[in-house]
Structure 1
Amino acid sequence: MGFKNLNISYQYRSDQESGNIIKDFYIPVLSQTKIYKRAVGYFSSGSLMLAAKGISELIDKGGKMQLIASPRLNEKDIEAIELGYRLREDVIEDSIIRSITKPTTLLMKERFNYLAWLIANEQLDIKIAMTRNVLSYGLYHEKIGIMEDWENNKIAFSGSSNETEGGLYNNFESIDVFCNWQDGDDIRVQRKELDFEKLWGNSTSQLEIIEFPQVAKERLLSYRTSQYAERDPEIEVTHVDINKSNLNTPRMPENLEIRDYQKEAIKSWFRNECKGLLEMATGTGKTITAITAVTKLWEVTQRLAVIVVCPYTHLVDQWVKDLKKYNMSPLIAYNSRNLWEEDVNNHITAFQSGAINHFCLITTNATFSLPHMQVILRKLNKNVVFIADEAHHLGAESSRKLLIEEFPYRLALSATPNRWYDEDGTDSLLSYFGNQVVFQFGLEKAIGKYLTEYYYHPHIIYLDEDESEKYYEVTRKIVKLFPKDGNFKNDDSKGLTSLLIERARILSRARNKLIKLKELLSNRKDSLYNIVYCGDSSVDGERQIDAVSKLLGNDLDMKIHSFTSREDAIQRKELLERFETGDLQALIAIKCLDEGVDVPATQNAYILASSTNPREFIQRRGRVLRKHPQKKYSYIHDFIVLPRELDQIELIEPTLFNMERNIVKRELTRLSEFADLARNGPLAHEEIAKVKHAYNLLNF
């Protein structure tokens, strides 16, 4: 049987008035297809899923598939090519790898499995289309398909503008279909096939076709399982597997020893009717404490929906690993709603109807705040526990309005629950979680038992001559604008804020920081497990993080890598693994190592830049102090920049002295707190005392 025996419509739309696209078009047509030629626009996990619709029959019948897509280069990729930092092929390869995100739903996993089977059977060939002038940001963005059956009949179809790479199985999909045996359609089919063939053969004038990178092919092959579903899961999976869901109920892991303070935290939470906030230092096991509490609650209720919200995707991934240790199989919800919405809806419906007694959902703050997620979650009312990791992020006015009052059980986790300069946000957040910090376990209790002891070395850095002149110039402008009565006019306030920011940047990007860093590491070029925290400012037109990378990588010949927003999740995971094994000696970061990233091997931290926000330096210190078999102590080097030499301070006028004194006072809060708990605390305080004495802050 060929295409002519099928009942094919001229158009298919997601409203199903003209037929179900998967069931009535893709599956029956591909079951008769010898060669399937497909162009999907952007190369992404979404477009791969789109291309893999209904192809299980193609695998069975030995059909072949040709796929063309265009890499989605970002601004940094283009810049790297334009400035010659990296070869174009390497940038494109990284872009493609970056686009193949880990499948998170049954639908996504099975579609990737289909493609992996085609690759393994040599039934799939993929090529990448680039505009010949890659710097123009142009993209090949056609969305067409051509099918040919074993009797040489041909069908062509084109996707609507709604068929985007975000439409994995889509919000709304529409295709127009042409058959070469029908009057008027033959010329259309010929035209689309000719365009595809010219493209595949690299004969299209404005486009260049390159081979699919081997490393990307291997990434797709890694998603192949021992078998594949006979029918597309979008058709088959329309309900929750109730038996499986009931099996994956919370259960304590074997051989897991819960620490005494964690047990006390759980008891305190239960005493407060399963509401409250745990204020526990970074590295003391907040996540394990929370999941154990949930497991104990399940043992009591035997019916429980678990909702976990995290600020970052990497925290979601870490939670998933820990939840699985407790026999839970969490639904993961972030990125495109098409990846998770159906699964989440089905589980909530099954839970509300009593068909299942448990499910676990983990999501990000951003996804939790989306209107459609809010609508879905508000269907729940009883037997729900809501967990907020790094809960202080939810204290912002826009976020706390979305917290769901119907959830009876609530647990907040944070090492630093107080929001900086936001008492209302702190109070509102605490109110939602039961008006109580039910348990506190700070660094002073954890150091030496659950966290490593540390040595603290504050380094006083001075501005050089050029920087000092600029600093004084800006400060003089500030003095003129600063009203004696303290009452600002709107225009004055804006101008003053701008000048204060400019002056802070002068201190942040002080050149002598790099000189001191080089001095500290020159005799430790072979050392391992170093982290350098940089600011986002520039030194002589160069970002501080790039200047530090050149210093360590080129001048000192150390094996280093940046750890920033420029690196995607896959790259970050690889970097952390290399750091752990000692293949990388140092990671250079701005803020990406502040919350939720486990780097326990870290022995030496160099803090070139730090805000006066207590949360930032508390998080950083706790992260450095995590225990690891390879270290006995941790070492923290902290850089404080002063605008002038200490012996010059007594010469300046009172107004300027008071301004500088306030700046130094904010820095000294961090320095003093770090020194208090350090093994070399008295020596560290001696260094700090020099600054306190010069600025008359001995009682601070």
Structure 2
Amino acid sequence: MAILANLQLKQTYHKPEDNIAQAFYLPCMAAAHTYDRAVGYFSSAIYALAWPSLREFVDNGGRIRLICSPVLSEGDVSAMTAGYAARNEEAQGNLLKEEFRQLLTTPGSVKPAKVLASLVALKIIDIRIAWVGDVAGGKPKRLFHDKVGIFEDVEGNAVAFKGSMNETWPGLALDGNLESVDVYLSWVGSREQARVAEEQAYFNRLWENHFPDVTTVPLPEVARDALVTASDPEHWRELVEEICIEIQAAEGWSPEAKPGGRVPRPHQVAALDAWKARGRRGIFEHATGSGKTFTALCAIKDSFSHKEVVLVLVPSDLLLRQWAAELRSTFDPVGIRLLVCGGGHIDWKEDGRLRAWTRAGAGAPRLVLATMQTASSPEFIQACRGGRHLFVVADEVHRLGALQARRILQLDTGPRLGLSATPVRSGDPTGTAAIFDYFEGVVPPPFTLNDAIRAGTLTPYAYNVHRVRLDTDEQEEWNRLAKEIRRQVARSIGAKTADVDAETRLKMLLIRRARIIKNARQKVSAAVSIVTSTYRRGQHWIVYCDDQVQLAAVRDALRSAGCEAIFEYHTAMGGDPRRTLDLFEAQGGIVVSIRCLDEGVDIPAVSHALILASSKNPREFIQRRGRVLRKSPTKLISNVYDVLVTPLFDPDEPPAVAILEGELARAIEFGSHAINPGCITDLQRLAIEHGMDWERVVNAGIEDDDDNKEEHD
């Protein structure tokens, strides 16, 4: 039997330079007799096990102690503050039981959850739940989220490690779940020995509930019973074997050949396997933030093995730059040749370059990256050589349903892959059908927002609705326009022939009235109230505005209220937008933005979103929500604040009802997936009051392709 002192261990490990799992984590687990670990969330406990070494560890008589926290909603915190749920073991247990139930229903976590349950049933793993604050006294401060681990062998040698932990699917993969760790050895010098002893004493005090301001309790019986019921003590070894095989399969899809490179998560592997089984055609309908780009990189790596030429299509210049950086970073080691088309890159037009680039043939892997606007031009389509050798990847594939972009769908290709969180185009069945016919539908099953939250790829979030009214003069103008709209509608109905001018006037009246909602003055005062009462220094907020006028009003109002670190981000801004985001990420603050953050911008540190913008396109607010739900070591739960304008109107007037439906559609979609779904009860009541079809409200929406105006050659 190996012992820890015989291992050659470094003082620190950093990914990606070090393969932390192979060099540190797995050897320590195999040589250890006990393993103490603080893992953060209860649901992340399944990722705390070094799977390829787990059987050896258990065979050595190994025992594991885990300290973790449950996910808390605002309602849970409120109940704890009142001193109720904290003293009710059953309430805590039911919360943990629900977390475990979600693990058992989430692809990729079912088998690890069953292994965890089996080892708990066999008393190999003991779990305690930790709360920071005097919980019994009703003063919870924050979740316990420490990051420490201690291995010890039969001879008393111990290894303590601390550092950034990422308890997610990559923790099951051989690249390990530790991004960077400092390591301390009990047998190397008095200082190291003292540090290990200090961490051991710290963990033991936590475990025994003797550490100040931390309450540690045994796993409640109702949660333990749920684990034992789901356990399979006789077959856990077979489950571990299957997990290890799945890890190896994931490595086979990885686009990164370097040691410790990224590997796809279970939902990505399942999607890639299903796509391959369908003849390598289909659309990945995966939630924003679930790793669609990386999934596509895996498919592109596979395409290279088929000697294919890859054509990647993106909807904007911003995504063009991001994809170019991602492709070069991932595939430069294999010597790719990349031709960028659009976004100011015009050399593809010279000397038949695009035609030569897209020809069939061997040689270095070739990639063409183009904006959809450029790729839909007759010049591009005529120069691009189609055929079975051409693999098309379309990011934000729903954009290909727009009238001009549909020209791209005449390209003759082999494999096809579309990416979108929402591939169905709202109010555009023709465009949707064109996309689905070309890519041959969605690869089942979709990976939904709830799937992503359960799998740990997105953070859970709380949703907070703030309803505001129109000011008196705004309401009066609303009423005046409503009367004029009714007159125009009546004239149109009574007319014997179509009147183009009348239709234009009606459209303009509807736009003017909708603009009253978009620019309602109380939105600005609501934004100031929410930010000044909630924002704390160092947080990362995004405030979504409708237009430049509203953005300026919100920016100036926040500054007048004493808010600091206010940033702007929009297409008309001066300076370097990327540097603005870099500064924002580094120091925190409030970004006041228009719609250009909707697609493709990745700012994981954002923890709060305030939505002032009104939109009838569900895709826009789904993408806005995705910006704030991305995983980051600096946040546990995200927060979405939504300012909802509810004007007074006659419910018998269909156009006015449609205005409110657009607002409610956003709120209902947000609230339905939040950790506090009761937040939309009042909205349901509001819809009923106005005689709305509740189910139809959720699906209300109109597709908007205006963003394409921002793209250019």
TM-score bin (small chain): 0.5 to 0.7
Shift of residue 668, structure 1, vs aligned partner:
1.6
Q: Is the 8 A contact 1:430 1:437 kept in 2?
A: no
CA distance in 2, matches of 1:416, 1:559: 33
CA distance in 1, matches of 2:339, 2:399: 22
Q: Which of 672, 676, 680 is matched with 1:685 structurally?
A: 680
Q: Which of 609, 616, 630 is matched with 1:612 structurally?
A: 616
Tell whether 2:546 aligns with 1:572.
no
Q: Which of 487, 507, 510 is matched with 1:500 structurally?
A: 510
Q: Is the 8 A contact 1:479 1:655 kept in 2?
A: no
Q: Within 5 A, what are the aligned runs for 1:58-69? A: none
CA distance in 2, matches of 1:422, 1:324: 36
Amino acid at match of 2:577: R
Correspondence for 1:212? none
SS at match of 1:363: strand
SS at match of 1:441: coil
Seq. identity, %: 33
Tell whether 2:514 aligns with 1:518.
no
Amino acid at match of 1:280: H
SS at match of 2:288: coil
Deviations along 1:642-684, whole A, 9 cap, x unmatched?
A: 113xxxx7xx5x644x5543432332222112111111111x1
Q: Is the 8 A contact 1:525 1:556 kept in 2?
A: no
- Gaps of at least 5 residues in structure 1 are 1-248, 538-542
Deviations along 1:397-426, whole A, 9 cap, x unmatched?
A: 222123343211111111111112211111
SS at match of 1:665: helix
Amino acid at match of 1:691: L
| RMSD value, Cα | 2.5
Kindly name which structure, 1 or 2, has the bigger radius of gyration based on alpha carbons.
1
Q: Is the 8 A contact 1:462 1:512 kept in 2?
A: yes
Would the alpha carbon gap of residues 487 and 308 (structure 1) be closer, same or farther in structure 2, given more than 3 Å must change? farther
Would the alpha carbon gap of residues 316 and 559 (structure 1) be closer, same or farther in structure 2, given more than 3 Å must change? same
Q: Which of 436, 460, 475 is matched with 1:453 structurally?
A: 460
Correspondence for 1:532? 543
Would the alpha carbon gap of residues 513 and 391 (structure 1) be closer, same or farther in structure 2, given more than 3 Å must change? same
SS at match of 2:297: helix
Q: Within 5 A, what are the aligned runs for 1:120-199? A: none
Correspondence for 1:315? 319
CA distance in 1, matches of 2:281, 2:486: 50
Q: Is the 8 A contact 1:306 1:385 kept in 2?
A: yes
CA distance in 1, matches of 2:321, 2:442: 29
CA distance in 1, matches of 2:612, 2:458: 23
Shift of residue 556, structure 1, vs aligned partner:
2.3
- Gaps of at least 5 residues in structure 2 are 1-253, 696-713
Correspondence for 2:481? 474
CA distance in 2, matches of 1:352, 1:508: 49
Q: Within 5 A, what are the aligned runs for 1:660-671? A: 660-671=656-667
CA distance in 1, matches of 2:490, 2:666: 29
Amino acid at match of 1:288: F
Deviations along 1:203-225, whole A, 9 cap, x unmatched?
A: xxxxxxxxxxxxxxxxxxxxxxx
Tell whether 2:467 aligns with 1:463.
no
Shift of residue 612, structure 1, vs aligned partner:
1.5
Correspondence for 2:668? 672
SS at match of 1:327: helix
Q: Is the 8 A contact 2:360 2:389 kept in 1?
A: no
Would the alpha carbon gap of residues 469 and 361 (structure 1) be closer, same or farther in structure 2, given more than 3 Å must change? same
Would the alpha carbon gap of residues 675 and 480 (structure 1) be closer, same or farther in structure 2, given more than 3 Å must change? same
Q: Is the 8 A contact 1:252 1:295 kept in 2?
A: no
Q: Is the 8 A contact 1:272 1:438 kept in 2?
A: no
Shift of residue 595, structure 1, vs aligned partner:
0.5
Q: TM-score under structure 2 normalisation?
A: 0.57
Amino acid at match of 1:273: G
Q: TM-score under structure 1 normalisation?
A: 0.58
Q: Which of 289, 296, 301 is matched with 1:295 structurally?
A: 301
> Would you tell me which structure has more helix in proportion to its own residues?
2
Amino acid at match of 1:430: F
Q: Within 5 A, what are the aligned runs for 1:189-588? A: 252-255=257-260, 256-299=262-305, 301=306, 303-328=307-332, 329=336, 330-336=338-344, 338-342=346-350, 345-346=352-353, 349=356, 352=359, 354=361, 356-378=363-385, 380-448=386-454, 449-483=456-490, 489-490=498-499, 491-524=501-534, 526-527=536-537, 528-536=539-547, 543-567=549-573, 571-582=576-587, 584-588=588-592
Q: Is the 8 A contact 2:464 2:642 kept in 1?
A: yes
Deviations along 1:134-173, whole A, 9 cap, x unmatched?
A: xxxxxxxxxxxxxxxxxxxxxxxxxxxxxxxxxxxxxxxx
CA distance in 2, matches of 1:265, 1:272: 11
Amino acid at match of 1:677: H
Q: Is the 8 A contact 1:250 1:298 kept in 2?
A: no
Would the alpha carbon gap of residues 660 and 402 (structure 1) be closer, same or farther in structure 2, given more than 3 Å must change? closer
Q: Is the 8 A contact 2:544 2:594 kept in 1?
A: yes
CA distance in 2, matches of 1:251, 1:631: 28
Q: Which of 605, 613, 628 is matched with 1:624 structurally?
A: 628
CA distance in 1, matches of 2:345, 2:680: 53
The number of residue pairs the alignment matches comes to 432
SS at match of 1:309: strand
Would the alpha carbon gap of residues 632 and 376 (structure 1) be closer, same or farther in structure 2, given more than 3 Å must change? same
Would the alpha carbon gap of residues 509 and 381 (structure 1) be closer, same or farther in structure 2, given more than 3 Å must change? same
Deviations along 1:292-336, whole A, 9 cap, x unmatched?
A: 01212333x2x1111101011221222223223432442222245
Correspondence for 2:66? none
Deviates more, 1:334-343 or 1:545-554: 334-343
Would the alpha carbon gap of residues 476 and 620 (structure 1) be closer, same or farther in structure 2, given more than 3 Å must change? same
